[in-house]
A = this chain, B = another copy of it.
């Protein structure tokens, strides 16, 4: 059910089409949550049925139209209720760690390739997270700008600091992954001899 609230969260900043939301989920917000459009469109329909969002059909070009979704009061209330609810603890289940616990069965070069892959993915991710964090701090983050307009100036610092806090956690996690992969590569070199 988190997808629903992730959508509501985005819609608290401004009205958007399903396509806009989908873009966000595969770009900036993807650090916090991700969903393909095949999940988003049906969910938006359900949310409209449940009265959490309103849709307005707006013209787009000579013949086309698009549906812009706007959060309703009921939607805002539902979002706020969710944010105050106790956490649902998610078991973390990463195949990378499962594999790493049995690396003695692996071909050293395959193991190296995997750790390099892990390193590459998390380094890139870390870079993006750092850039997003910075764009929050200097208020160049696009969604943040829409969001801040809805709040008085004296609230801005508070809003930004919570978001930076979230990114700090994500950055710490990503850094740990990068460190871990590097350590693994060194370990393989030590136990199996230098790479070929």
Contact = CB atoms under 8 A, between A and B. Distances in A.
Contacts of A100: 162, 165-166, 169
B87 A95 contact: yes
B162 A180 contact: no
Interface string A53-80: 0000000000000000000000000011
A103 B32 contact: no
A110 B97 contact: no
Contacts of A38: none
Q: What bracket does the count of chain A residues touching chain B fall in?
A: 35 or more
A105 B79 contact: yes
Please indicate which of the listed interface residues A33, A90, A105 has the most CB atoms of chain B within 10 Å of its own CB: A105
Interface of A: 2, 5-6, 9, 12, 30, 32-34, 79-80, 82-107, 110, 113-114, 117-118, 121, 155, 158-159, 161-163, 165-170, 172-173, 175-177, 179-180, 183-184, 187, 191
